[in-house]
Amino acid sequence: MSIDRFSGADAFPGVLRHAMAPGSSSFTEFLSAAAPELLPKPHLVSDIAPHGTTIVAAVYDGGVVMAGDRRATMGNLIAQRDIEKVVAADDYTLIGAAGTAGIGIEVVRLYQVELEHYEKIEGTQLTLDGKANRLATMLRGNLGLAMQGLAVVPIFAGFDTAASDAANAGKIFSFDVAGGCYPERYFDAIGSGSPFAKSSLKKRWRPGMSADEIVRVSVEAVYDAADDDSATGGPDLVRQIFPVVMLADDEGTRRVPDADLDVIVRAIVDQRREQPGT
Amino acid sequence: MTMPFYASPEQIMRDRSEYARKGIARGRSVVVSTYTDGVLFVAENASSALHKVSEIYDRIGFAAVGMYNEFENLRVAGIRLADMRGYSYDRRDVTARALANAYAQTLGGLFTDQQKPYEVELCVAEVGPGPEDDQMYRISYDGTIIDEPNFLVMGGQADALTSELRRTFTEGLDLRGALGVSVRGLGSVGGNGAPRTLPANQLEVAVLDRTRGSRKFKRIQGAVLTALLPAATTGGAPAAEPAPADTPPHDEPDQDGGSAGNSGDTPS
């Protein structure tokens, strides 16, 4: 009975056989070995699958904001009015995904588990740069085909607890189809409405804004994107559906309540009534 | 005298059990108990980096005694299994019972198939919405799984410590009270007769607190732990001598002078 106990998955009986094999602290890598069918499947871009659409991120004095619209479209149809594209990846970071909605949600969910998994195994969190890099690696490795089909593009932002200057601890990272990870200094946007959102932010964003100011500017950027992109949803005052706006600062992540957004959106609408433009 | 060519299965299993039990008894103890807000883990652990107690999932915690590399392997496997279950179903679908069963299956298989059993004893605990929903499972080196009420003790002089805790433990204590019972219990064994006072740096303490947010596990360390510890035991040594290694390596002679290679068939 000289079974080599380190002969891989066969050495350990039962449900834990894959879990007992030596490996890294990455949940995605573990899934590839133990249950590859659970990983998000790459799809080709198609009008049959719903598409998600404009997400902006910007730094402010003391943190970073991320705002995303609520619309999912299927060709010319609105598939969902209140889809949430911006979520907290962990206690100090935010992630948003644009593109095929189903894949985006899976990617985000997998990434949240990836970060928590690392923390539980290692006993410590990754650094912010490590988390961004990990997201890039996940995109590159498991979803290479998806990225070639442009199915999902994420944007990642967070408060860097290791930064020396809390006022400038907010950081943003964007990603490209090759899985590259790029720190963005001031603001960025992704999705079909991102050119309009970025043009809006270009005029309204300033360094060192307060939380209230940055929320106003971000909501306005999504509003401007919705104004020119049919795939981006504007605020729905009738149903009280507003963009998801989340902040990450030294106290962690929080979502701006709909009641506050209602006030901001009404102010924007009133101002635009004065200067409608085309 | 010629060496016997045949050893009965009972003899082989008994030797393995003996081996595993000795390994587990060599180290220090861990006490897992319930209190008003959930489950409390108290381990005697001089190391601040190598943990005996760990988070597995939202409401599930893990504690182990025995060989560190073996239970560390099982700890990581448990986290992987829990994260996979939670990811493929839902976070609320991950239960301590399923995890304990998986551990029992693995340890039982290892005990029978491998030449050397895992010298570990595990506890998987889950906190629920109320005290009646809290669960604690003990899994032994041979895959035996027991569902324990109130408290359980693993490792070191577990029998003596269990008797002591049966005397002192009561249900429904607050955190400070439950911590006091566990720490005094741990201090009552392992010294040379006199009870030991264990300071915060020789303890590893964590809770599964049902009043917390989604992740219930929290370590209690440093100044916070010191503030919660009971006052020093009167008449005892001022501070316990920490063991040089928590589970001494195999090539050190046994403290009790017994020879591990003794093939006598004394029933245990």
Does A39 contact B at CB distance below 8 Å? no
Flag whether B46 is in a domain: yes
Across A101-110, A137-146, B33-42, B231-240, least confident range = B231-240
Domain with residue A165: its CATH number is 3.60.20.10
Does A120 contact B at CB distance below 8 Å? yes
Contact B84 A34 (CB under 8 A): yes
Q: How confident is the model at residue A75 (pLDDT cuts 50, 70, 90)?
A: confident
How many domains are there within chain B? 1
Across A26-30, A70-74, A274-278, least confident range = A274-278
pLDDT value of position A14: 77
**CA-based nearest residue to B143, from A15, A156, A162, A173:** A15
Domain with residue B214: its CATH number is 3.60.20.10
Q: Which residues of chain A have a CB within 8 Å of the CB of B83?
A: 27, 113, 116-117, 120
Share of chain B above pLDDT 90, in %: 74
Interface test with A, best of B74, B83, B110, B113 (most A CBs within 10 A): B83
Interface test with B, best of A6, A20, A112 (most B CBs within 10 A): A20
Contact A12 B110 (CB under 8 A): yes
pLDDT value of position A153: 81
Flag whether B20 is in a domain: no
Q: Which residues of chain A have a CB within 8 Å of the CB of B54?
A: 120, 123
The closest CB to that of A121, out of B79, B102, B105, belongs to: B79
How many domains are there within chain A? 1
Task: Please give the angle made by the CA atoms of B220, B48 and B126, to the nearest 5 degrees.
Answer: 45
Flag whether A4 is in a domain: no
Strands B151-154 and B30-35: antiparallel
What is the rounded average pLDDT for all residues in chain B? Answer: 87
CB pairs under 8 A between A and B: 78
pLDDT value of position B259: 41
Q: Span B7-12, mean pLDDT? A: 88
Q: Are the C-beta atoms of A51 and A78 separated by less than 8 Å?
A: no
User: How far apart are alpha carbons B191 and B44 in whole angstroms?
Assistant: 13
> Would you give the end-to-end CA distance of chain B in angstroms?
26
Residue B36, domain extent: 30-228
The first and second tokens of residue A214, run together, are 């940055």
User: How far apart are alpha carbons A30 and B13 in whole angstroms?
Assistant: 34
The closest CB to that of B80, out of A19, A110, A116, belongs to: A19
Asked whether the predicted pLDDT for residue A234 surpasses 60, the reply is: yes
Q: How confident is the model at residue B268 (pLDDT cuts 50, 70, 90)?
A: very low
Flag whether B266 is in a domain: no
Flag whether B21 is in a domain: no
Share of chain B above pLDDT 70, in %: 85
Q: Are the C-beta atoms of A175 and A156 separated by less than 8 Å?
A: yes
User: How far apart are alpha carbons A152 and A161 in whole angstroms?
Assistant: 28
Other CB atoms within 10 Å distance of the CB of residue A245: 25
Flag whether A182 is in a domain: yes
Q: How confident is the model at residue A9 (pLDDT cuts 50, 70, 90)?
A: very low
Q: How confident is the model at residue A91 (pLDDT cuts 50, 70, 90)?
A: very high
Q: How confident is the model at residue B30 (pLDDT cuts 50, 70, 90)?
A: very high
Contact A117 B77 (CB under 8 A): no
Secondary structure of A170-223 in HEC code, one letter for each residue: EEEEEECCCCCEEEECCEEEECCCHHHHHHHHHHHCCCCCCHHHHHHHHHHHHH
pLDDT value of position B257: 41
Q: Span A179-208, mean pLDDT? A: 94
Contact A20 B73 (CB under 8 A): yes
Contact B83 A116 (CB under 8 A): yes
User: How far apart are alpha carbons A151 and A137 in whole angstroms?
Assistant: 16
Q: Is A53 a catalytic residue?
A: yes
Q: Is the dihedral of CA B73, B79, B81, B84 positive or negative?
A: negative
Across A68-72, A79-83, A102-106, B182-186, least confident range = A102-106
Q: How confident is the model at residue B260 (pLDDT cuts 50, 70, 90)?
A: very low
pLDDT value of position A21: 81
Contact A19 B76 (CB under 8 A): yes
Q: Which residues of chain B have a CB within 8 Å of the CB of A38?
A: 84, 87-88
Secondary structure of chain A in HEC code, one letter for each residue: CCCCCCCHHHHCCCCCCCCCCCCCCCHHHHHHHHCHHHCCCCCCCCCCCCECCCEEEEEECCEEEEEECCCEEECCEEEECCCCCEEEEECCEEEEEEEEHHHHHHHHHHHHHHHHHHHHHHCCCCCHHHHHHHHHHHHHHHCHHHHHCCCEEEEEEEECCCCCCHHHCEEEEEECCCCCEEEECCEEEECCCHHHHHHHHHHHCCCCCCHHHHHHHHHHHHHHHHHHCCCCCCCECCCCECCEEEEEECCEEEECCHHHHHHHHHHHHHHHHHCCCC
Flag whether B67 is in a domain: yes
Flag whether A158 is in a domain: yes
Flag whether B14 is in a domain: no
Interface test with B, best of A1, A2, A16, A31 (most B CBs within 10 A): A16
pLDDT value of position B266: 39
Flag whether B117 is in a domain: yes
pLDDT value of position A140: 77
Flag whether B48 is in a domain: yes
Contact B113 A1 (CB under 8 A): yes
The first and second tokens of residue A244, run together, are 């998801």
Q: Which residues of chain A have a CB within 8 Å of the CB of B101?
A: 15
Residue A214, domain extent: 45-248+255-274
